[in-house]
Structure formats: structure tokens, C-alpha cells
């Protein structure tokens, strides 16, 4: 069984969407991936995940490591005061937000997402965490699409942040 399947032309023509739902429904594979992602960064206080699929891995890692979870959401979804960051996607523009008090200067944060494509979402998440005063230790992805060069974009903007991917395509 292929645990990450490619879906052509989703969400729009020309995009090869990486569908992780088969991996998520396989308990053994999901546990293995979460364990592997958890072990990448040795020291962190909480785990931040981007809406929506990043929530799945970040909250599982937070639970497994007995750490807090910080949701980074799409615009207008958080009920309290927020910081906002606009970013570019492979197929458009969007905005992410985080609560102003989600974390602070004393905290080390592991950022987790499902796919590293162009790097826009990751850079926005990093800037949001930095606005709270917290320190990013690592950013971890399940899957990296190398041809889209997102890693280089993140490294140019944030050369001090360690970037890890479980699988590359």
C-alpha cells in the first residue's frame, strides 16, 4: 500500500498534491513517523503546527513528548489577540495567525508541518513564533518536495534554524 499518494491537479490544475491520509489511517506507520519526528529535536518546550495537516503531526508529537501544542491558524480562526503573517503558496496567497501570548521569550519551539513545498508557510510560521519572543529550535516536515526549493528559501531567511524532513521527493 502506498502511504503517500499523489493526486494530480488538486487543488488546481498543475499541482501534484501529496495526500497523507493513507499514512494517517495506518496506525503503525503513523506511530513510526511521529516517533521519528519527535526524536529530531532534542530540546524543546512546545510544538507549533500549521493548520491544517501540520496540526495532526504537531499535536501527536506534543502529546508523545508531554509538551504543549501551539496552533498556527488561518486568518480569523483564533478568538484572542493575534499576530499575523501573509505568505505565498505554490498556488496562491494566504495569512497565518498565532495568539500574541501563545509562547514567550523563555520557550524553545519545535515547528512541525506535513509538507515543505515553496517554504512560504514555514517562513510565515517562523516569523510568527519570533514575534512572540520564543526561540525556534528546529522545523520538521514529513515530506519535502525538493524541486520547489523551499529549504533554500527558509535557509536564506533563517540560516540559524535546523530543517529536517523525514522523506524527500
Digit-coded pLDDT (tens) for 69-94 = 999 999 999 999 999 999 876 666 88
Residue 37 lies inside a defined structural domain of this protein: no
Whole-Å CA distances, 157 to 30, 44, 85, 97:
31, 22, 15, 19
pLDDT tens for each residue of 18-29: 999 999 999 999
pLDDT attached to residue 12: 86
Res. 15 pLDDT band, cuts 50 70 90: confident
Q: Domain containing 142: what range?
A: 42-168
Residue 83 lies inside a defined structural domain of this protein: yes
Q: What is the CATH number of the domain that holds 137?
A: 3.40.50.2020
Bridge partner list, 113: 141
pTM, to two decimals: 0.94
- Are 36 and 57 in contact by the 8 Å Cβ rule? The answer is no
Q: Using N-to-C axis directions, what is the helix angle for 27-38 and 53-65, rounded to 10°?
A: 70
Residue 4 lies inside a defined structural domain of this protein: no
User: Active-site positions?
Assistant: 53, 90
* Among candidate residues 32, 25, 34, the one with its CA nearest the CA of residue 55: 34
Residue 47 lies inside a defined structural domain of this protein: yes
Give residues with Cβ within 8 angstroms of 79, minimum separation 6.
Answer: none
Q: How do 108-116 and 46-50 pair as beta strands? A: parallel
pLDDT attached to residue 71: 98
Residue carrying the nine cell digits 491558524? 73
Domains identified in the chain, total number: 1
Amino acid at each position: 500500500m502506498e502511504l503517500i499518494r499523489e493526486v494530480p491537479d488538486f487543488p488546481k490544475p498543475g499541482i501534484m498534491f501529496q495526500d497523507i491520509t493513507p499514512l494517517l489511517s495506518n496506525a503503525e506507520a503513523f506511530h513510526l513517523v511521529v516517533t521519528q519526528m519527535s526524536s529530531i529535536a532534542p530540546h524543546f518546550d512546545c510544538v507549533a503546527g500549521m493548520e491544517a495537516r501540520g496540526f495532526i503531526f504537531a499535536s501527536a508529537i506534543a502529546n508523545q513528548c508531554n509538551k504543549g501544542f501551539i496552533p498556527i491558524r488561518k486568518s480569523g480562526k483564533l478568538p484572542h489577540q493575534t499576530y499575523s503573517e501573509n505568505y505565498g503558496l505554490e498556488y496562491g496567497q494566504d495569512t497565518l495567525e498565532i495568539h500574541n501570548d501563545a509562547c514567550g521569550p523563555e520557550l524553545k519551539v519545535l515547528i512541525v508541518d506535513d509538507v515543505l513545498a515553496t517554504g512560504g508557510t514555514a517562513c510565515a510560521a517562523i516569523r510568527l513564533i519570533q514575534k512572540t519572543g520564543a526561540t525556534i529550535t528546529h522545523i520538521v516536515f514529513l515530506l519535502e518536495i525538493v524541486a520547489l526549493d523551499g529549504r533554500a528559501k527558509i535557509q536564506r531567511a533563517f540560516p540559524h534554524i535546523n530543517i529536517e524532513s523525514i522523506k524527500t521527493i
